[in-house]
Amino acid sequence: MTTLIQFNIPVATGDEIRNLKKSIADGKFSGDGGYTKKCNSWLENHCEVNKALLTTSCTHALEMAAILIDTKPGDEIIMPSYTFVSSANPFVLRGAKIVFVDIRPDTMNMDETKVEDAITKKTKAIVPVHYAGVACEMDTIMSIANKYNLFVIEDAAQGLMSTYKGRSLGSIGHIGCLSFHETKNYQCGEGGAILLNDKSFNSRAEIIREKGTNRSQFIRGMVDKYRWVDIGSSYLPSELNAAFLYAQFKSAHQVNKKRLSLWNEYSEQLSEVSQVDLQYIPTGIMHNAHMFYIKLKDINERQRMIEHLKAYKIQSVFHYIPLHESKKCSKYNHFHGKDKFTTKESERLLRLPMYYDLEISDVKYICNKVRGFFND
């Protein structure tokens, strides 16, 4: 094969241009126009949540969540170390300490059996991160949270179209956060959403998202003028981003079906390669084929595989460096218990190309080269 198989190509369905042209013709460019409302409504209906609000990123959705639960200096937030820095930063910015717990080696998600032992009098919230769009064990996590009166904020950045026992990821905890970055299954370059499952958050969420003002209430005629009433920031995206994104929502099932077919082809092709471990999908969980990864013996074998695939014009990449390994940010966190799997498993994991325009023939070619690595 002479053409490079990229690791990711952002999805575009073909209808984005039509929506952008309409938005331009309507003369609406700032946030909360017609397309933003359509996106919010689509998310509320699909995810079956009380309220959804588009944001400028998943990072900003998490920042809003940190404010909504009144995160303060001295609070502790429990989450996995194997995640992107955006899971932690919003709470650190409010003065909280991050308490990391180990992951499960099968799903790379937070080990739900390690959570309760990490809880102290300072614990404010649990942040399960649904890695690769595969759900954490939410029944256990919610039971623990209810027992200790803690908030649960789902980092479902990779989770749209995935479910846990029939419920959309992001709709189970008190708050859910989604990403529409160009690396996600549905994207608008940069974007996100906050999902509110507790109605008590509705009014304040609007205010925080509108720079700390009650502008939304003013627009609805609920107040005579809008004022500065709370802390907040500019968390609403451009209407152009929403117009682009809404086209992707309209094709969500089509995109999901194609990605799952690619994922299933990978799984079938590599199922008999005994030298690698494949992704595990627990019973009762529907994933969204956000990524397909394999696990090699160790970090050295992984690097050799990357170089091997590169020689055949295939891009493959590893993922997160566990956050607790950052020496400069050690004052913001500590790892509770033993790091039995987080570092070890992160050093084995290798992501293979996965995107909407990838073809089955490409997957077969990639898998052939993966098998070839062990046969050379």
| DSSP secondary structure string for all residues of 43-77 | HHHHHT-SEEEEES-HHHHHHHHHHHTT--TT-EE
Distance CA 63, CA 58 (A): 9
Nearest CA to 133 out of 319, 322, 286 is that of: 286
pLDDT at 215: 75
How high is the pLDDT of residue 217?
73
The predicted structure's pLDDT at residue 2 = 66
Report the pLDDT value the prediction gives residue 227, as an integer from 0 to 100: 86
| Domains of the chain in sequence order | 16-250 (3.40.640.10), 252-375 (3.90.1150.10)
CA dihedral 120, 122, 125, 130 (to 10 degrees): -50
Q: How far apart are CA 156 and CA 135, in angstroms?
A: 9
Q: What is the pLDDT of residue 218?
A: 66
Tokens of 64: 């809003």
Burial 16-35 (b: 16+ CB within 10 A, else e): beebbeebeeeebeebbbbb
- What is the reported pTM? 0.96
Task: Answer yes or no: are the C-beta atoms of 66 and 88 closer than 8 Å.
Answer: no
Please tell me the predicted confidence (pLDDT) of residue 253.
98
Give the end-to-end CA distance of the chain in Å, rounded to a whole number.
Answer: 19
pLDDT (tens digit, 0 to 9) for every residue of the chain, 376 residues total? 669 999 999 999 989 999 999 999 999 999 899 999 999 999 999 999 999 999 999 999 999 999 999 999 999 999 999 999 999 999 999 999 999 999 999 999 999 999 999 999 999 999 999 999 999 999 999 999 999 999 999 999 999 999 999 999 999 999 999 999 999 999 999 999 999 999 999 999 999 999 999 877 766 666 777 889 999 999 999 999 999 999 999 999 999 999 999 999 999 999 999 999 999 999 999 999 999 999 999 999 999 999 999 999 999 999 999 999 998 889 999 999 999 999 999 999 999 999 999 999 999 999 999 999 998 7
The pairing of beta strand 163-164 with beta strand 167-168: antiparallel
Residue with tokens 């950045």: 157
- What is the per-residue pLDDT for 329? 87
Instruction: Return the bridge partners of 197, or none.
Output: none
